[in-house]
Structure 1
Amino acid sequence: MQTDTLLHVANFSTLFMCMVIKFPQIFLLMRAKSSTGVSLNSLLLEMTGYIVFVTYQMYYDYPPPTYLEYPILIAQDVILLLLILHYNGSLRQSLIYALVFIGGWRLLTVDKWIIDLAMSLCTFISATSKLAQLQCLWKSKDAGQVSALTWTMATYTCMARIYTTTVTTGDMQVLVRFIAMTLLNMWVLLTVLYYQRQSRASKKED
């Protein structure tokens, strides 16, 4: 009974958090009208990882509560992508990205070996997206437009998914992915907090 309760709490808290997880980042970009410190490559890789992951879960008929947040995350990433392209002055490229993502999604379900291969690469793709964001932060040394709250929620949701995966499907590929994402999300969060603290200290000195 206790396990069932914890599972429901983990599933629904993750779903609720993912419904708003990108909102702090979206509002921050809209307020700043700049995407400095936010990596476009990271976002594109993250969307790719999300699409592969949710398609894999659906293909193998996994319980919907274990992946319901991913369509919501993808929708929020689309909004972020449009904002970044807009502030970078390259909004016209959005049509190209849309065609590539839709075509790639259709390709995933053509055959079982394709979705299995894609899933085996999914952790690498998602990890690369976090490393791209870290690289962007290290290069710009500016986390002013990066939301620490969004990365905090991302860390929590991955930790919750470690638990739900363990007690439901036990899929090792999925479990390894969430462990890796938890550690990398935490790394990004600490980096964001570090640069934001440095920025505040610099402003005080001025």
Structure 2
Amino acid sequence: MEGGLLFQFCNWSTLLVCMVIKVPQIFALLSAKSSRGVSLKSLLLELAGFLVFLRYQSYYSYPLLTYLEYPILIAQDVILLLCVFHYNGSMNQAIPYIAVFLGGWYLLALQKWIIDLAMNLCTFISAASKFAQLQYLWEARDSGAVSALTWSLSAYTCATRVITTLMTTQDLMVLVRFLIMLALNIWVTATILRYRKTATKDE
């Protein structure tokens, strides 16, 4: 009974959090009217990782509630990317990326070995997205318009997905991915807060 309640809480709280997870970051960009501090490379890699993960989960018909947040995350990432392209003055560059992502979505499910290989690479892609954001912060030494709330909420959803994966599929690839993402999301959040404090002191 307790396990069932924990499972339901993790699933629904993750879904609710993911419905607004990128909203603080989107508002931060709109308020600043700048994408300063936000790594375009990080966003593109994150979106690629989300697409692969969603395709993998749906391909193997995993319980819908264990990955229902991914279409929501992808939609919010697309909005965030469009904001970044807008503030960088390069909206036209969005079109080739959209074409690549749409083509990749169909290619992934052509053969079982393709989706399995992509899932193996997915953890590296998602980890690379976090490191790209970290590198951007380290070089700028300024968190700019980056939202610490968005990154801390990402850490929370990874923690809940560790629990739901253990309680359902116990897929090792999925579990390792969530554990690595949890650690990296915490690291990015801490780095954002560190450089925010530094910038406040300098002022």
TM-score by length of 1: 0.98
Deviation at 1:200, TM superposition (A): 1.1
Alignment of 1:46-65 (within 5 A): 46-65=46-65
Aligned to 1:124: 124
Structure 1 unaligned blocks of 5 or more: none
Which amino acid is 1:77 matched to? D
Alignment of 1:136-155 (within 5 A): 136-155=136-155
Q: Deviations over 1:69-107 (max 9, x none)?
A: 000000000001000001111100111111010001110
Aligned to 1:84: 84
- Other structure's SS at 2:170 match: coil
1:19 maps onto 2:15 in alignment: no
Deviation at 1:193, TM superposition (A): 0.4
Q: Provide the C-alpha distance between the structure 2 equivalents of 1:82 and 1:112, rounded to a whole number of angstroms.
A: 32
Q: Provide the C-alpha distance between the structure 1 equivalents of 2:113 and 2:148, rounded to a whole number of angstroms.
A: 38
Deviation at 1:141, TM superposition (A): 1.1
Which amino acid is 2:9 matched to? V
Alignment of 1:28-67 (within 5 A): 28-67=28-67
Contact conserved, 1:36 with 1:140, CA < 8 A, in 2? no
Q: Provide the C-alpha distance between the structure 1 equivalents of 2:105 and 2:144, rounded to a whole number of angstroms.
A: 34
Q: Deviations over 1:128-162 (max 9, x none)?
A: 00000000101111112000100110000000000
Which amino acid is 1:70 matched to? Y
Alignment of 1:160-171 (within 5 A): 160-171=160-171
Q: Provide the C-alpha distance between the structure 2 equivalents of 1:145 and 1:200, rounded to a whole number of angstroms.
A: 14
Contact conserved, 1:85 with 1:94, CA < 8 A, in 2? yes
Which amino acid is 2:117 matched to? L
Q: Provide the C-alpha distance between the structure 1 equivalents of 2:93 and 2:80, rounded to a whole number of angstroms.
A: 14
Structure 2 unaligned blocks of 5 or more: none
Alignment of 1:149-188 (within 5 A): 149-188=149-188
- Other structure's SS at 2:38 match: coil
Q: Provide the C-alpha distance between the structure 2 equivalents of 1:194 and 1:93, rounded to a whole number of angstroms.
A: 32
Tell me the C-alpha RMSD between the 2 structures. 0.5
Runs of 4+ aligned structure 1 residues displaced above 4 Å come to none
TM-score by length of 2: 0.99
Contact conserved, 1:37 with 1:145, CA < 8 A, in 2? yes
Q: Provide the C-alpha distance between the structure 2 equivalents of 1:197 and 1:92, rounded to a whole number of angstroms.
A: 36
Q: Deviations over 1:25-84 (max 9, x none)?
A: 000000101111100000000000000001000000000000000000000000010000
State the identity %.
60
